[in-house]
Structure formats: C-alpha cells, structure tokens
Amino acid sequence: MIEVLSSVLLLIGGLTALLAGLGLLRFRSAYARFHAAGKASPVAFSIAAVGAALVLEWDGVLLLVTATAAMVLTLPVGVHLLFRAFYRTTISNLEVDELYDARAARTRGH
C-alpha cells in the first residue's frame, strides 16, 4: 500500500514538473514564465520528495527534507532576482507598472 501511494505521489510530482516545463515553453511573457518556474517547480519537487520519502530509510528522508527546504527557500528568491534583472534591462509593456511608479516617487523625494 505504501508503495502504491509513493508511486502516485511521484507520478503527481512528475506531472506537476511537466506542467511547469510546458508553462515555461508556452507562456508568452517572461513574467508568466517566471511565475511558472517559481511556483510550480518547488511544489512538484516537494510532492515527489514526499513520495520518495515514504519508501526510504531515515537517512534518506533527512536528505530529502534538507533538499526540499533548500529548494523551497532558494528557488523563489532566485526567480525574483531574475525577474528584477529582466525588468531593469527591458522596457516594460505593462498597463499598470507599480514598480515604475514607486521608483519615480522615490526619486522625486516623496
């Protein structure tokens, strides 16, 4: 029974990672691509790690917990830095650009 649950969780994690990859390919704007990479990838890894942890010994479970924590803590920060670099090096075509408005207010002294 545990093996079946583990297999189902690994399959769900793999399919979630596949959807994140398809989002990276299919979304038109870089902002949507960053969202797909930053949200779906850690979720997919976490689901697959839980599935793998069900059939591993304790030392393997501790390694998976450490890897999951590192992924969940570092990937969103990395995606955010990529987003900022993209935003600062391109001309934004957003209808409402809150980042630009906040930066303009800071330079005016408000």
pLDDT confidence tier of residue 98, bands split at 50, 70 and 90: low
What are the φ and ψ backbone dihedral angles of 95, each rounded to 5 degrees?
-70, -45
pLDDT confidence tier of residue 31, bands split at 50, 70 and 90: confident
Query: What is the rounded CA–CA span in Å between residue 17 and residue 40?
Result: 7
pLDDT confidence tier of residue 92, bands split at 50, 70 and 90: low
Q: pLDDT at position 82, please?
A: 85
The closest alpha carbon to 41, from 71, 66, 77, belongs to 71
Average pLDDT of the segment spanning 82-95: 73
Q: pLDDT at position 67, please?
A: 92
What mean pLDDT is reported for the chain?
A: 83
Q: Mean pLDDT lowest for which of 6-10, 25-29, 43-47? A: 25-29
Domain boundaries, the chain: 2-108
pLDDT confidence tier of residue 65, bands split at 50, 70 and 90: very high
pTM: 0.72
